[in-house]
Amino acid sequence: MVLFIVGNGFDLALGLKTSYRDFVEWYIKQIKRPEDQRISNFKNNIKNDIGANINSWADLEIKLGEYTNLYKKDEADDFLFIYRDMKEKLNEYIKNQESMVDLSDSDAIVDALSQFLLGFYREFPTNTRNLLVNTLEKRQANIQYNFVTFNYTQTLEDCLNLLPTPFGERGNYTDTLGSVLHLHGEIDKAPLIGVDSDSQILNDAFRSDKRIMRALVKPLMNKEMQENVEIKAHTLINASNVICLFGTSLGDSDISWWVKIGEWLKASASRRLIVFWYSAEPLSTLHYDIKLTEEDNVRMHFIKKAGFTESESAQVANRIIVHIYTNILDMKLIPDEALQNVEA
């Protein structure tokens, strides 16, 4: 089984402006006169942190836990007020971005997505590519492709729903597409934004406030919603032979998932983790050593997040395949004029 774990990089590849900076710059401008001073103060905190301290959604989520320390013990209501305002605005912003997605060129979408899912390893070095060909293309069993997403949007399933059934045929074997599991909720359906554990909430008093915990700690909220989302995700991870991380920042606000994937990787020498890592600038084809160094950096970044010991790192490093890309999905689904109208 192949599992794709998808982050915001997927929506960005489709042309949605859903980076943390896109949202924050929009959110700061959304002012109802007169604006509540609590919201103004919160926006100023975010504005001061943009660039220097916040580089991804995960960084913003960690900051939320840190911002709790700016409030006194009896100011939990004030924190919840600004948190819920931001969350409502985030839901509105992402919803608007998704509304601009154009799926009319279905043939192009099917072609690009099929090529990626069935041949994501075609540009890997020969030895790595051959290993995955033997693992996947020559596998004498049906393969199911499953998906776990950190995104609130429906863009992934909208694109997958265009693909043919059966998805892939290899002689006597038929490959299929599984469903999409949303780890952090969906637009208008309890989207979760926050930290991975109570230890990331710096205000000691807030950790004993059940309302704060329910709002901010994502695993706790998933558990209390009783939809078994995390159990389902664990089941998919444990059943997989290959896991691909695409569009994730490997941030601390989801660190328990990187630890879980690390445990999965350690459990069997036949398992492979593939990390697709975005680079705004193409790596030099002239200086291959630069590419190898960047891959090592990403590999060690995951190893650190997964909490491997030195001996464990040595055992699994060669089973973590890093592919640094600039443009891997030729599927821009939002017309430029639509974005220009929003920005105007």
CA pair distance 60, 67, nearest whole angstrom: 10
Q: Which residues of 91-109 are buried (b: 16+ CB within 10 A; e: fewer)?
A: bebbeebbebbeeeeeeeb
pLDDT of 168 higher than 90: no
pLDDT-derived band at 344, boundaries 50, 70, 90: very low
Task: Report the alpha-carbon distance of residue 219 to residue 216 in Å, rounded.
Answer: 9
Q: The tokens of 154 are what?
A: 């429906």
The model's confidence at residue 343, banded by pLDDT at 50, 70 and 90, is low
Contact indicator for 196, 174 with CB cutoff of 8 Å: no
pTM reported for the whole predicted model: 0.92
pLDDT tens digit sequence for 297-320: 999 999 999 999 999 999 999 999
Q: Any idea which of 82-86, 277-281, 314-318, 337-341 has the lowest mean pLDDT?
A: 337-341
